[in-house]
Structure 1
Amino acid sequence: MISRRTFVINSGLATAAVLAMPSLAFTMNKKEIGLQLYTLRDEISKDVKSTLQKVAAAGYTNIETYGFSIKDQFWGISPTALKKILDENQLKAVSGHYNLGSFLYDGNTTELIAAIEAAKVLKSEYLTIPWVDEPFRKDFKTIASRLNEAAKMCKASGLKLAYHNHDFEFQEHDGITGYEILLKETDKDLVYFELDLYWVVRSGNDPLKLFKENPGRFKMWHVKDMNKLNQALNTEVGSGSIDFKTIFKEAKQSGMKHFFVEQENNYNPNSFESIKNSYDFISKELL
């Protein structure tokens, strides 16, 4: 029988061993940093392989795809070919943005089924809906119903469904915002939310308030900073006006499991340097 004293000594030695191994301690205490590949849309559309090599070299371990279609697949290559490149660079496609064709509006599942199959090949965890076309932004009850339907199909395939916001969801319709409708009308056990922090702040809302009112709903974030002089422009994370240090302190209340750096414009001095600078700030100052 192990005595309490022996147990304490062994436990102490085990703890010391962990602390003596920086790489293990790092993986235990640091969240993996992801990148939404739309950030590098000009580069990846020309050369998928070299672009992903540079993403990995910058330190990223997770990516989020975009732009899949039945016709063109991912920038002209198949999900299987993309998975091979990701594996070669130790990258995981945790999530992907899929537009799903007309599904949100008329229920046609053709693109949804293809998206689910692509996400399965990539071994993604989330299939994320990134956008609602302008003519349909006043009928969020229907959108919520479609999200519930898609989420059931995703669950049956081993995936989770998420919804990514911009600013238009925070406009009021008859005294309630589209985002409030989505949060209220979707099944909280099936439909998750990827909160784009830039667009929340840009719309005049407070991410911390959303966390408090809807704890655990925001499993993913887009970490995208706002230019201090022009709110319409992005900037490298840590160089702008968004208080990410305060936001990251509330990650547990949010429910956040994964986050992705995104920068859509205003790269300084170029897109690859921008993603590296964002990675460095996050790894040193936020995690």
Structure 2
Amino acid sequence: MAGLQLYTLREQLPGDVKGTIAKVAKAGYSEVEVYGFSKAKGFFGFSVNEFSRILKDNGLKTPSGHYNMDALLSSGSMEEVDAAIDTANMLGHRYITLPYVNAKFRQKAADIHAIAEKVNKAAERIKKAGLKMVYHNHDFEFIPVEGVTLYDVLLKETDASLVDFELDIYWAARVAQDPVALFKKHPGRFPLVHVKDMDKKDDKQTTEVGKGKIDFKRIFKEAKLAGIKHYIIEQEGFTIDPFVSITESCHYLKNVLLA
């Protein structure tokens, strides 16, 4: 099955939520990963239940969502975590994903270890709700801070029964990290991956899956070892119509990479 991280369509969604979601389904997707939730505005002005109905009306499931957890990282507050749990249960998620760690929370090695401790505590709460916590990476997790990297610390210091990982393959490639090596070192901890291709001419740009330089076939040969259950396409910019783009990427994922 092919999934889409809805952040891909962040410019289209606010103006036409229902129409955009319908086009995602038409493009061939069966799953979406949500983002942008707030207690005040729900999803793009729709309540969680209303947004859930829009997804269901288009035959879309949502295994995961990206939820802000700055309060957790700042003070250890579980308020945002609890809101994410409530939302996840209404939407039918299996995973609650921490999408980003603000730079102010990762200045020193001690900060890095503290993040792992807070993630474990949040993950315990998430597990009690019947869900699992997941961490999504960018590139900074692989860059040393006082001799340690956040990704290595999270993999080693979080409880594998509580915390899994959503490997963003593009961001790993940006800092020359080999997904296969990560899979072999930490088998079974990667139930989700972001399938995001790197432009052949400009590493800082993304492109349609299959048009770039990332060797997804090699990576996905190790899908069983990694524990991959959900392949989620994401693209951060377009040179063609966005809906043509997501259709091309979906087709390549389903008919070439996963065939």
User: What range is the shorter-chain TM-score in?
Assistant: over 0.9
The Cα of 1:174 is off from its aligned counterpart by 3.3
For 2:76 and 2:208, the matched residues in 1 are separated by 38
1:71 and 1:208 mapped to 2: Cα distance? Answer: 41
Deviations 1:146-176 (A, max 9, x none): 1111111111111111000000000112333
Contact 2:30–2:60 (8 Å) recurs in 1: yes
Alignment of 1:181-220 (within 5 A): 181-220=153-192
- Equivalent residue of 1:59, what SS? coil
Greater mean deviation of Cα atoms: 95-104 or 79-88:
95-104
- CA shift at 1:73, angstroms? 1.3
TM-align CA RMSD? 0.9
- 1:238 aligns with 210
Hey, what does 1:79 align to over in structure 2? Answer: 48
**Secondary structure at the residue paired with 1:188?**
coil
| 1:174 correspondence with 2:146 | yes
* Pair 1:280 & 2:245 matched: no
- SS of residue matched to 2:235: coil
Q: What amino acid sits opposite 2:21 in the alignment?
A: L
Whole-Å Cα distance in 1 between the matches of residues 87 and 6 of structure 2?
16
Equivalent-residue separation in structure 2 for 1:286 and 1:204 (angstroms): 22
Indicate the SS of the match to 1:217. coil
Pick one of 192, 199, 202 that aligns with 1:227: 199
Match of 2:60 in 1: 91
TM normalised by structure 2 equals 0.96
Instruction: Provide the residue aligned with 1:107 in structure 2.
Output: 76
Letter in 1 for 2:150: G
Question: How far does residue 93 in structure 1 lie from its aligned partner after superposition?
Answer: 1.0
Count of residues paired in the alignment: 255
Q: Is the 8 A contact 2:137 2:168 kept in 1?
A: yes
Name segments (4+ residues, structure 1) moved above 6 Å.
none
Q: Which runs of 5+ in 1 are unaligned?
A: 1-31
Partner of 1:125: 94
What amino acid is the match of 1:273?
A: V
CA distance in 1, matches of 2:235, 2:68: 20
**Cα distance in 1, alignment partners of residues 73 and 227 from structure 2:** 26
Q: Distance in 1 between matches of 2:75 and 2:123?
A: 16
Does structure 1 conserve the Cα–Cα contact (< 8 Å) formed by 2:199 and 2:213?
A: yes
- 2:96 aligned counterpart, secondary structure: strand
Q: Residue 168 of structure 2 aligns to which amino acid in structure 1?
A: D
Larger radius of gyration: 1
- Match runs of 1:245-284 below 5 Å: 245-265=217-237, 267-284=238-255
Deviation at residue 200 of structure 1 after TM alignment: 0.4
Q: Secondary structure at the match of 1:45?
A: helix
Q: Is the 8 A contact 2:52 2:90 kept in 1?
A: yes
The match for 1:134 is 103
Asked whether the equivalents of residues 70 and 102 of structure 2 are also in contact (C-alpha less than 8 Å), the reply is no
Query: Does the 8 Å contact 1:105/1:143 carry over to 2?
Result: no
TM-score (normalised: structure 1): 0.87
Using the alignment, how far apart are the partners of 1:175 and 1:110 within structure 2? 32
Residues of 1 paired with 2:106 and 2:197: CA distance? 25
Residue pair 2:195, 2:232 contacting (<8 A) in 1 also: yes
* Structure 2 Cα separation of the partners of residues 64 and 215 of structure 1: 23
Structure 2: which 5+ runs fail to align?
Answer: none
